[in-house]
Amino acid sequence: GQQVMQIPQYQHVQEGEDFTTYCNSSTTLSNIQWYKQRPGGHPVFLIQLVKSGEVKKQKRLTFQFGEAKKNSSLHITATQTTDVGTYFCAGPSGGTSYGKLTFGQGTILTVHP
């Protein structure tokens, strides 16, 4: 079945440093979504990328979708303590554009002040 892998599993940074997490799917995706889960909280939707090679920005966060639509990345510039949490990527299963999402195992980000 479809697999979605994320690296790294953990990342510890000093406040102000940049952070990147990478996501790879075993199958081509119609879209990819990113979620953030704060410690003790629930996942919160950040963004959806649909087009091959798409790049979207949200303030200090930059999201990319690969040309082959099998990989994606999330880059945070100048991390802040509020960025702490687990970042998950997720893609629809079975080549569909909706329905069940398969989630990566997440990257846990720790930011030291």
Partner 1 sequence: GAGVSQSPSNKVTEKGKDVELRCDPISGHTALYWYRQSLGQGLEFLIYFQGNSAPDKSGLPSDRFSAERTGGSVSTLTIQRTQQEDSAVYLCASSFGQNGYTFGSGTRLTVV
For residue 98, the tally of other CB atoms under 10 A from its CB is 8
Q: How far is CA 47 from the centre of its chain?
A: 9
- Selected binder of partner 1 within 44, 55, 68, 78 (CB under 8 A): 44
Does residue 91 bind partner 1 (CB under 8 A)? no
Stretch binding partner 1 (CB under 8 A), from 21-29, 42-50, 53-61, 77-85? 42-50
Does residue 85 bind partner 1 (CB under 8 A)? no
How far is the C-alpha of 109 from the C-alpha of 87, rounded, in Å?
8
Least Å distance, CB 78 to partner 1, is 26
Reduced to 3 states, what is the DSSP secondary structure of residue 50?
coil
